[in-house]
Amino acid sequence: LALAAPSFAAPPKGADAGQKAKDAFNEGRYDDALRWLEAVYEQEPSPGVVYNMGRVREAAGRIRDAYETYLRVLALPGVDANMRRLAEAQAEQLKPLKDKAVLRLKGVPGGAVAQVDASAVAATSADLQLEPGEHQLCVTKADQSVVRCARRRLEAGLRTVWEWDEAAGPTGAVVWTPAERVTGLELAGHPLLVDLAKLKEVVVAVGQHQLRVL
């Protein structure tokens, strides 16, 4: 499920803190944006400011917090019809995700094959809905020469971003030499979706790993 691009309601005219919140949001500085919005809310408590808090939390990947913020908008007095419609739409969109772990892949090379645990990922540009807990993510280059894997503990109501060029800490490479009569490789109990005749390296975070030859 791909979430809609976050929007940001216009700050009150002449409100310096509101403009700073909007600028921080547009620059991806979500913690700063929330701090400025809190300052705006102290000066002018309104449903629009609370709605913007929800948009910031949504953009930051805090799905459950964002969902609860939109519900808060709906419970406030004096909510106009347009703001109610916006908040209801956002809450409805996030409702299926609030108890799921959400994973977003970034920077996956063209033609690469991605898999979560034992399942291939059909669309790497969309958010993946997973059960909370530990998962293994692997991405295989298009030429099948390198598999990059990481294990992540994913929490409910949060979006975790995994980038191809970003490893979780130091990495090491297991060099693979093609061998006869080998039908597959398993990493931590999950098969690697890769052509063994082309594979050269399995890149993983430093530590102990169970690599099984089938």
The token pair that represents 30 in the structure block: 């979500």
Strand-by-strand arrangement of the 211-213 sheet? 190-191, 185-187, 211-213
Residue with tokens 């975070």: 205
Identify the pLDDT of residue 84: 95
Q: How would you classify the pairing of strands 159-163 and 101-106? A: parallel
pLDDT surpasses 60 at 106:
yes
User: What pLDDT score does 101 carry?
Assistant: 96
Q: Are strands 171-175 and 113-116 parallel, antiparallel or unpaired?
A: unpaired
Is residue 48 classed exposed, middle or buried when 0-12, 13-18 and 19+ CB atoms within 10 A define those classes?
buried
Helix (H), strand (E) counts: the chain = 5, 12
Please give the pLDDT value at position 166. Answer: 56
- Work out the pLDDT band at 144, boundaries 50, 70, 90: very high
Classified as helix, coil or strand, 85 is helix
Is the CB of residue 51 less than 8 Å from the CB of residue 66? no
Q: Which of 97, 193, 59 is nearest to 136 (CA)?
A: 193
3-state SS class at 142: coil
> Does 181 have pLDDT greater than 80?
yes
3 state SS of 44: coil
Write out pLDDT tens, residues 16-70: 888 889 899 999 999 999 999 998 898 888 999 999 999 999 999 999 999 999 9
- Residue 162 in this model has a pLDDT that exceeds 70: yes
Q: Give the per-residue pLDDT at 4.
A: 45
Q: What's the sign of the alpha-carbon dihedral 144, 141, 122, 150?
A: positive
